[in-house]
Amino acid sequence: MKKLAPFVDHLLPWLTCIAMLAALSMIFLYVPNEQQQGLPQRIFYFHLPIALNTYLGFFIVAGASASYLWQGERFSDLLAQAAAELGMVFCTLVILTGALWARPIWGVWWTWDPRLTMVVILWTIYAAYLLLRMFAGDTEQTARYAAVLGIVGVLEIPILHVATRLWRGIHPKVDTMAPEMMWTLLVSMGAFLLLFCWLLWLRVRNLSQREEIAILRRTVFLSSEPEGIA
Amino acid sequence: MWALLWKDVLLEWRTKERLSSLFVLAFLMLLIFVFALSPEQTRRPDIGAAMLWITLVFAGMLSLQRGFLLEQERGCLSGVLLTPIDPSAVFLAKFLGNALFLLMVEAFVTPITLLLLGITWTPMLLLLPVVELLGIIGFSALGTLFSAIAVRTRAREVLLPIMLLPLLIPLLIAAVQLTSALLAGEAWPDVWLRVLLAFDVIFVVTGWFIFRHVVQE
C-alpha cells in the first residue's frame, strides 16, 4: 500500500475528474433523448452506476470481513469500514435518484418493486453495520463483530433477490439500447467506479492514519509517564 | 452440547421466568393487535398471518436478550468457553435452546390467534406447525449469532433488533405468505417453502461456522 501511495494520490483524482467531466458532457450533450420517457431518462446514467457501486461496496465489505476473520489483518478491517461507509452513501443516492426518476415516470416517489425493496433492505443492513461499529467502540472485538455482520449481510443478497422478486415486480428492463446510450452508460459507469475507488482510498488512508496517530499518542504517553510521576 | 442445552432448560424449569413473561407478553401483543385493528380486519387471514409473525418476532427478540444476558451477568459463557468444548457446540446448544423456547411460545400463541380470528378448521392447518418450525429455526440461528454480539456492546437493547430485523426480512416474507395461504385454506405456495428452507440451511450453517469468531476472547 505504501509503495502505491504517491502514484494513486496523484493519478486517481485526475482520472476521476476527467472521467466524470466526460460522463457529464456525454449525459447532457451527446446522448439522444429516450423516445418514451424523454428527459427524465437521463438520470438513469447516474442511477445505474451508483446502484452498481452500492453492490460493489457490499461485496468489498464481505470480502474484507472474511479476510479479516481468517487472517486478522488490520488493513482488511479498515477496508471493510471504509467500504461500508461509502456503500451507505451510494445506497442513499440510489434511492434518491430512483425517486426523482420514478416521480415523473411512474407517478409516485416510491413503490414496492423488488429492486426498490431490495435496495431499501440493503440500506438498513448498512445502517445496522455502521451503528454496530458506533456502539461497540473501537476494539478488536468490534472488528470481528462487524465482520460477522458483513458476511451474513452478503449472504442475504441472493435470498433477498429471490424473495423480493417473487413478492412483486414492475421495474423496467432494458432490452435494446442505442449505441450512443450504451457508450454514455459505460463512460458514466467508469467514472463512478473511479470515484468509488478514489473515495475508498482516501477513507482507508484516513482511517489508517488515525490509527497510527492513536498508537503514537499511546507510546508518547507511556514513555513520558515515569517523568511525569517523578 | 446436550449438557449445555439441558442446563438452559433446567434453569428455565426451576424459575419459569422467561416463559411466563413471554406468554404474557405474547398475549398482550395479540390483544393490542385486536384493539388496533377493526373487527373486519381481524377476521382476514393475511392480517392473522401478520399478527402471528410480528408477535413471534418481538417475543423472540426479548427471549434472546434474556438468554444471553443471563450468561453475561455471571460470566457463565466465558466459563463454558474456557472448557475444551468446540464453540460450534455452544452455538448449537444455544440455538436449540432458543428454538425450543420460541416453539413453546408459538404453541401458546397459535391457538389463541386462530380463536381470535375465527378460522374454520381445515386439514391444511396441520401444516401450520411445520411452517412455524421452519420460521423459528431461521430466526433462532440468526438470533443466537447476533444476540451474542449485541450483548457485548453498549445499547444492546436497541442494537439487537437493528441488526436482526433487516436480516430476517426474507424469512418473514416467506413465512407470512405461507401462513396466510394456510389460514385462507388456499393452495400451498411451494416456492415460498423453498425460500424458507434455503434461509434455514444457509444461516444455520453460517452460524455454526462463524460463531467461534464471535465468542473468541
Task: Judge: A162–B153 Cβ closer than 8 Å, yes or no.
Answer: no
* Tens-digit pLDDT profile for residues B113-129: 888 777 777 777 778 88
Residues of B in contact with A163 (CB under 8 A): 169-170, 173-174, 195
Q: Residue written as cell 482516501?
A: A202
Question: What confidence tens digit (pLDDT) does each residue in B155-184 have?
Answer: 777 888 888 998 998 899 888 888 888 887
Q: What is the mean pLDDT of chain B?
A: 82
Q: What is the mean pLDDT of residues B86-96?
A: 83
pLDDT winner (highest mean) among A62-66, A191-195, B10-14, B97-101: A62-66
**Digit-coded pLDDT (tens) for A134-193:** 887 777 788 888 888 888 888 888 888 888 777 765 556 666 677 777 778 888 888 888
CB contact under 8 A, B191 and A166: yes
How does residue A107 score in pLDDT terms, banded at 50, 70 and 90? confident
pLDDT of the residue at A230: 43
> What is the spatial distance between Cα A69 and Cα B123, in angstroms, rounded to a whole number?
48
Looking at the partner chain, which of A132, A142, A148 has a beta carbon nearest the beta carbon of B210? A148
State the count of interchain CB pairs (< 8 A) between A and B: 84
Binary contact (A152, B206; C-beta < 8 A):
yes
Kindly list the domain boundaries of chain B, sorted by start residue.
Answer: 42-116+123-215
Cell triple for B83:
472448557
Residue B80 has pLDDT above 80, yes or no: no
Contact B53, B175 (CB under 8 A): yes
Per-residue model confidence (pLDDT) at position B111: 86
The answer on pLDDT for B106 being more than 60 is: yes
Name the residue with higher pLDDT: B196 or B119.
B196
Domain range summary for chain A, segments of one domain joined by +: 24-30+42-170+178-229
Q: Taking the CB of residue A139, how many other CB atoms lie within 10 A of it? A: 10
Contact in structure between B178 and B192 (CB atoms under 8 Å): yes
Runs of H (alpha helix) within chain A: 5-25, 44-71, 74-106, 114-135, 140-167, 179-229
Q: Which pLDDT value is given to residue A226?
A: 58
At A78-91, the pLDDT tens digits run 899 899 999 999 99
Closest partner residue to A125 among B149, B166, B206, by Cβ? B166
Q: Lowest-confidence range among A56-60, A128-132, B16-20, B31-35?
A: B16-20
Out of A121, A148, A151, name the one closest to residue B149 (CB).
A148
Q: How many whole angstroms separate alpha carbon B209 and alpha carbon B74?
A: 26
pLDDT score of A61: 92
**ipTM greater than cut 0.85:** no
- Show the 3-state SS of A24-64: HHHHHHHCCCECCCEHHHHHHHHHHHHHHHHHHHHHHHHHH
Alpha helical stretches, state H, B16-155: 17-36, 45-74, 76-82, 87-117, 128-150
Share of chain A above pLDDT 90, in %: 11
Given a cut of 80, whether residue A11 has pLDDT beyond it is yes
Its pTM stands at 0.81
